[in-house]
């Protein structure tokens, strides 16, 4: 006697293949909707390129002025001292910290100099890691950018480098 179709192996095996594709599609759709769309190619690439050229010009301006800083961390505070290229009038500095892998940890601090010409700022509690520090003056006429690793007990020499653009 023949068994009915639902008690045989081959119909269930053949139906499991499309069902597994449906399950894989649902998993893929849920992952895609969770992480969203992050385009790698930008539409306004020409404007981005011009912006990069402007940033390079600012780094070259800092190099021409001979601007460099000493960065010193003390617990949750940091100090910036002009090492060379100190202007006659000390304007406020904007110091931006960009984390290497986690953009949500990025932060910016605006600093003014004390009577001795030292700029002091506070670091957040989660400041450990590899950072790109970018220093610009209030008038945005030059730019200094360099990578550092925090926490740091040593004094770091920061100077304008074109690779940090």
The CA-based dihedral angle spanning residues 7, 10, 12, 13, taken in that order and rounded to the nearest 10 degrees:
150
Is 55 inside any structural domain? no
> How many domains are contained in the chain?
2
Q: What is the chain's length?
A: 165
Q: Region 34-39: what's the mean pLDDT? A: 71
Residues 139 and 92 both lie in one domain: yes
| Structural domain of 18 | 8-34
Is 132 inside any structural domain? yes
Confidence of residue 47 (pLDDT cuts 50, 70, 90): low
Q: What whole-number distance in Å separates Cα of residue 66 and Cα of residue 73?
A: 23
Residues 160 and 80 both lie in one domain: yes
The CA-based dihedral angle spanning residues 24, 27, 28, 30, taken in that order and rounded to the nearest 10 degrees:
160
Is 49 inside any structural domain? no
Higher pLDDT, 42 or 73: 73
Query: What's this model's pTM, rounded to 2 decimal places?
Result: 0.67
Q: What whole-number distance in Å separates Cα of residue 46 and Cα of residue 51?
A: 9
């Amino acid at each position: 006697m023949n068994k009915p179709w639902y008690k045989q192996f081959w119909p269930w095996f053949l139906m499991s293949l499309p069902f597994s594709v449906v399950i894989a599609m649902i998993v893929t759709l849920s992952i895609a909707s969770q992480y969203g769309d992050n385009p790698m190619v930008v539409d306004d690439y020409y404007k981005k390129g011009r912006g990069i050229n402007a940033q390079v010009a600012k780094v070259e301006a800092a190099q021409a002025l001979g601007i460099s800083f000493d960065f010193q961390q003390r617990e949750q505070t940091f100090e910036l001292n002009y090492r060379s290229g100190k202007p006659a009038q000390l304007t406020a500095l904007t110091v931006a910290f960009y984390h290497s892998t986690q953009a949500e940890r990025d932060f910016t601090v605006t600093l003014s100099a004390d009577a001795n010409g030292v700029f002091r700022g506070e670091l957040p509690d989660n400041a450990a890691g590899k950072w790109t520090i970018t220093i610009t003056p209030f008038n945005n006429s030059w730019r200094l950018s360099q990578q550092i690793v925090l926490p740091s007990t040593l004094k770091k020499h920061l100077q304008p480098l074109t690779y940090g653009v």
